[in-house]
Structure 1
Amino acid sequence: MTKTITLKSIVKDDKICIGIYFPYDKTLIETVKSVGAIWSKTMQCWYLENTKQNFKRMYETLKGFAWLDLSELKKKQPIPYKTQKQASKSLPPLSHEAIVQIQLFEQWMKSKRYSSNTVKTYTEAIRTFLRYHASKPISEITGQDLIEFNNQYILKNQYSSSFQNQVVNAVKLFYSRMTKRRLDPGEIHRPKQGRKLPNVLSKEEVKAILEAPANIKHKAMLSLIYACGLRRSELLNLKLSNVDSKRNLLIIHNAKGKKDRIVPVSDKLIKLLREYYKMYKPKVWLFEGQKPTEPYSEKSLQSVLKQALQKAGIKKPVTLHWLRHSYATHLLESGTDLRYIQELLGHKSSKTTEIYTHVTEKSLKKIKSPFDDL
């Protein structure tokens, strides 16, 4: 079957580029890399700056490997837009009133024990929103002003629906707690969200990743994420006291949504953790950073995964969360009830867990195409 590569005009880092799209193929990946293409995790494609030299070199190289679909590339090219940070620089400064109210809002969220990420995200979102409307007193801002902000700032700068949703959440919370609610939160509409399927690795790919690290600490961290379906923050916040080796349980405290949960741990993983403990002797945190008093850093953990992927020869843009998605999917494929998986993952709603039913290989293979009966 002839392979197809689709070329599209995209914007990357404020430059018009050629996006190179094709199904996963090791040979094609090595070929596009040979002409200088770079992988974009956010856009899920390889790309090159759109210049005559780059196009000619790429075209001459790829035409022998696949059929090139240029129909999308010939369409009107997109216009580069400002990044969020660049666009925010053009906004006027905050008024004194806004500065005080934002500080109070931040303190209130901390007192209510919102997560540090939520506090940071909401504070930045409301700061941007109030800077856009700096000419108006906070109490006089209305729902129409939020619509204008969405149209003239978010949509105009082509920001994501997730950023728009963050602004909606921040504005609703801010006006319901910090003002007399001249802006009615009930009139605020959220952007329509698309449904994205989780990225799942095969068991063979997971095994290759987990066996790649030579360092037992790195192996233990990645193995624990997959074996227990952990989020990145949950792994890094584990303490020695969270591992109950006698009952083969992992106790996860204060996870997303301020919830605790218990996850079973296999004998195989307990053995690996004991070997790791004998070698590293951690004192408080299960995985310590450079200083024993601090947990392992997010950046270092990302680096561990990156090195494992390189050693395993896996070219997919795998993230740590892919291991959690793979854990849930593999449980479902092995016959584990969806309700148990929901508890193991710490999902508040069963609807969140049900998304894994769309990517289970076992279920999909049972479906017989009517084409086969022709």
Structure 2
Amino acid sequence: MAKKLLDQLREELRLKHYSYRTEQAYVDWVRRFILFHNKRHPAEMGAPEIRAFLAHLAQERNVSAPAQNQALSAVLFLYREVLHKEIEPVLLSTAKRPQRLPSVLTRQEVLTLLEHLSGTFKLMAQLLYGSGLRRMECVRLRIQDVDFEYKAITVRDGKGEKDRIVPLPETIIPALRLQIERVRLLHAEDLAAGYGEVYLPDALAIKFPNASREPGWQYLFPASRLAIDPRSGRKLRHHVDPSALQRAVRQAAQKAGFQKRVTRHTLRHSFATHLLQAGYDIRTVQELLGHKDVRTTMIYTHVLERGGRAVRSPLDF
């Protein structure tokens, strides 16, 4: 019965155009919820059982606040969209995310980090810093998203399902042109071999049935091998594995000898901080980052404050 229910969950997620990564995560959380309650059917449970599951994740599994909130979203989606049963929000509460200042590199540290990267991963890291992209926004870029004339990149379907325009760093234009040429050659080889398709969201695939084989829709950073698409069953050329980019940045930071924690998101944090240092207003930076609320962007102003709240230590008087 659990398997059948999970199949229904997958179907609803696909009908509502959730990403495959979200589908995988939601199905996994619901499976864990069911197993935690000894395979009881969720229709027989409600808010008390959901609270018990969340408490288990927080207290016994030490799951982070964002992961707890995703687990809650997954279980509520199941009840609302599959079981058609409403759970009173007042009976549940989301986990509070810890308020931590982001780790930021100086401009010289960014340049040092980039020196320890090469090839495709260096180009991707340059986009994370130079355009303020999120990791998944970077790996999902398509050839047609790059506008050399206007020196701009269009980020499609970013966080919150919103598009936005970000600057294209002039210094990487030659490298990007070479990358696009490599992708075109690879795509031509795939077509000659009887393949050449790329994943498109369902709505686009229906509206433009031949677009998946066109050069402009190909991923800017394609995977090295063809793979079977888990939803359609077709053999496609997907984008590069996002975890590979994370590993490359982490290894470059280790080679550079950085003591501070550096992740791919550190480059995006540095992009925002350096723009504010250069005098750009907070609203402009908010728009470039794709933040819904300016309060999210305001955290970078705290990074800029010298010392605590820009107060001089009495030891320095």
TM over 0.5: yes
Counterpart of 2:52 (choices 148, 154, 168) is: 148
Residues 130 and 185 of structure 1: CA distance in aligned 2, closer, same or farther (over 3 Å)? farther
The structure-2 alpha-carbon separation of the partners of 1:201 and 1:187, relative to structure 1 and needing over 3 Å to count, comes to: same
- The 1:144–1:315 alpha-carbon spacing in structure 2 relative to 1, beyond 3 Å, is same
Counterpart among 88, 96, 100 of residue 4 in structure 2: 100
Matched to 1:351, the amino acid is: R
Equivalent position of 2:191 in the other structure: none
CA contact (8 A) 1:200 1:325 kept: yes
Letter in 2 for 1:367: A
CA pair 220-132 structure 1, distance change in 2 beyond 3 A: closer
The DSSP-based 3-state class of the residue aligned with 2:222 is: coil
CA distance in 2, matches of 1:160, 1:278: 42
Cα distance in 1 between the residues matched to 2:57 and 2:139: 36
| Inter-partner Cα distance in structure 2 for 1:222 and 1:317 | 16
Which residue of structure 1 lines up, in the alignment, with residue 42 of structure 2? Answer: 138
The within-5 A match list for 1:244-255 is: 244-255=147-158
Secondary structure of 2:153 counterpart: strand
How much has 1:227 moved relative to structure 2? 0.2
Residue of structure 2 in register with 1:360 after alignment: 304
* Aligned-partner Cα distance in 2 for 1:310–1:135: 44
Q: Which moved more, 1:129-138 or 1:345-354?
A: 129-138
What is the alpha-carbon distance in structure 2 between the residues aligned to residue 99 and residue 196 of structure 1?
Answer: 39
Amino acid at match of 1:197: L
Contact 2:164 2:290 in 1 (8 A): yes
Aligned residues, how many?
276
1:325 aligns with 2:228: no
Distance 1:221 1:196 in 2: 26
Quote the residue 1:300 is aligned against. 244
Q: Could you say if the C-alpha distance between residues 262 and 108 of structure 1 is closer, same or farther in structure 2, counting changes exceeding 3 Å?
A: same
Q: Which has the higher contact order (CA 8 A, sep 6+)?
A: 2
- 1:288 maps to which residue? 222
- Tell me, yes or no, if the aligned pair for 2:139 and 2:221 is still in contact at 8 Å: yes
By percentage of residues, which structure has more helix? 2
Unmatched segments (≥5 aa) in structure 1: 1-95
**Separation in 2, partners of 1:196, 1:295:** 31
SS, match of residue 298 in structure 2: helix
1:218 lines up with 2:121 in the alignment: yes
Residues 104/239 of structure 1: CA separation in 2 closer, same or farther (3 Å cut): same
- The runs of at least 4 consecutive aligned structure 1 residues that moved more than 4 Å come to 275-283, 363-366
Q: TM-score, normalised by structure 2?
A: 0.76
**Can you list the C-alpha shifts for 1:57-102, whole angstroms capped at 9, x where unaligned?**
xxxxxxxxxxxxxxxxxxxxxxxxxxxxxxxxxxxxxxx1x33222
Q: Deviation of residue 366 (structure 1)? A: 8.5
Distance 2:253 2:86 in 1: 52
2:223 partner amino acid: G
2:107 maps to 1:163:
no
AA matched with 1:266: P
Change (3 A) 1:280 1:211: farther
1:232-243 pair list within 5 angstroms: 232-243=135-146
Give the secondary structure class of the aligned counterpart of 2:240: coil
Distance in 1 between the 2:55 and 2:169 partners? 52
1:256 to 149, 156, 159: 159
1:273 aligns with 2:216: no
Q: 1:330, 1:315 → 2: CA distance?
A: 20
Provide the rounded CA distance (Å) in 2 between the counterparts of 1:225 and 1:112. Answer: 29
- 3-state DSSP class of the match of 2:7? helix
Q: Do residues 175 (structure 1) and 79 (structure 2) align? A: yes
Cα shift at 1:254: 1.8
Name structure 2 gaps, 5 residues minimum.
Answer: 188-217, 227-236
CA-based RMSD of the aligned residues comes to 2.7
* Larger gyration radius, structure 1 or structure 2: 1
| TM value normalised by structure 1 | 0.66
